[in-house]
Chain A
Amino acid sequence: MAHYFLVVWGPSDYGEFDTYGTQEERDAQMEATGAFNDRLREEGSFVYANGLTEPSTATVVDGTGAEPIFTDGPYLESKEYFAGLWIVDVPDLDAALMLAAEGSKACGRKVEVRPTGSV
């Protein structure tokens, strides 16, 4: 079994309904995502899942120098940012891709699958 990081991509600015256009849209996606998460828990592949607050709330920390430096905002300027994530525990990439496809449908966003390192 291996951990895969399923990164949800979303817009840079969140509106009144977070990354969604309307209240109904958000409710529907939240419900679908909740049901999907429940299934992951039942199957034993759930490690962690959550949405992220908007990129403007991010702080970049550089602790590589003598004193840590804190910078307001995300690391890179982009049109799209991480909007949420799953960490799943599955046997191989095929299983991770299948879950990512279902997760993407549930939350209505594109999902990037990143294998984690072996450490």
Chain B
Amino acid sequence: MTDAVAEAITRVHREEWARVVASLTRRFGDLGLAEDMAGEAFATAVERWPRDGIPPNPGAWVTLTASRKAIDRLRREARRDAKHQEALMLHDDSPPEPAGAVDDDRLRLLFTCCHPALSMEARVALTLRMVGGLTVPEIAHAFLVLEVTMGQRITRAKGKIRAAGIPFRVPEAHDLPARVAGVLAVLYLVFNEGYLASGTESEPVRRELTAEAIRMTRLVRELLPHDGEVAGLLALMLLTEARAAARVSASGELVRLDEQDRGAWDHALIVEGIALVRERVDAVARGEAVPGRYQLLAAINAVHTSVPDARDTDWSQVLALYDQLAGVNPSPIVALNRAIAVSELDGPDVALASVERLATALDDYHAFHATRADLLRRLGRSADARIAYDRAIALAGNSAEVAHLTRRRDQLGH
């Protein structure tokens, strides 16, 4: 196969997979069939395109090929089973798709894969498979589970969708905000797993997962352009991803935001992320709904990434945003991050007092002990800081973070 054809197939797969699966699912009412036939259609492309050339409209070619294969499969099964005959007749005369309905199909696919009746693990796996187009081995590798386990997880989820009658449609208006939030939670989880990989055995940052999460969030943004939280999550991901190259040192150690080489940041992503944050700030100023969690987290990241030197950070702005965030999402983790802003404005002693209040809620969270350790270190309480670093190191799962915390601990005086 020539490089040009191979590249075309990769590109079409990346751009069209979700569309093909979504349109077949709507037409034939069977997600598993749609997945199988989409896979076979791409296999046929690999066989034919090098010989016949790349078709003028590759996406339409794949959809048509996959649909023909689905009809063949259903006809074969129908000869064996009268019930399938019935199903075939039910779906075969489906009206031609009205223009614009295809995008709608991809949205349906997302809502089905992220349905609240499925476990979170299943939602993540299904979304990466059906919307992202990742293979089962790729997803298994990303989440450090055996291929057979991941395969079973996806099969079980498809089985539940079929047997339980999880619908393939966009939820009704009253249900929509909660369901969009559910989709965003899945995408954010995929992103975070790439951004701070949890396994001690895995690479500390897995760009393939963060890239996939961004790609899928861009798709959701395309489908729901007026949703503030969708814009917020995309901005948050872009502003976080922009710092990826500076986040891990050559020796494999996590580098804190204030110590990062800001010249190594991806400024195109920062510009795009900040533009999205501005768009939301303007929308809120016009009286649209109050910003949700992702918009506020994005705004905090925009404050950090908009200055070329960490010393110029507008901490009072950061603190004001954390106060707003605590209003919509009153969690101890938000309170912990807020305390870091407090330490910059009012000093480590004031911040430590607020951190200590979170001890019960966050005792098994490594970042709690790491934050506490840094504050104790700044206050000159080396012995206490050492104990806190030890706790943080024991709890941290990420290899680069362990390296960073170990160095901080070993720098402590006596």
Contact = CB atoms under 8 A, between A and B. Distances in A.
**Mutual binders A and B:** yes
Contacts of A97: 116-117
Nearest to B117: A93
Q: Size range of the interface on A?
A: 10 to 19
- The interface size bin for chain B is 10 to 19
Interface of B: 115-117, 163-167, 171, 175
A115 B165 CA distance: 8
A16 B116 CA distance: 37
Contacts, number: 24
A-B pairs, top 4 by smallest CB distance, nearest first, are A92-B167, A115-B164, A92-B165, A93-B165
Overall SS of chain B's interface = loop
A113 B166 CA distance: 12
A113 B117 CA distance: 10
A94 interface: yes
A103 to B, nearest CB: 16
A34 interface: no
A21 interface: no
B163 A115 contact: yes
B117 A91 contact: no
Contacts of B117: 93, 97
Nearest to B171: A94
Contacts of B116: 97
A91 B172 CA distance: 14
A2 B175 CA distance: 21
Interface string A20-34: 000000000000000
Interface in A65-119: 91-94, 96-97, 113, 115
Interface string A43-79: 0000000000000000000000000000000000000
8 contacts: A92-B165, A92-B167, A93-B115, A93-B117, A94-B167, A94-B175, A97-B116, A115-B164
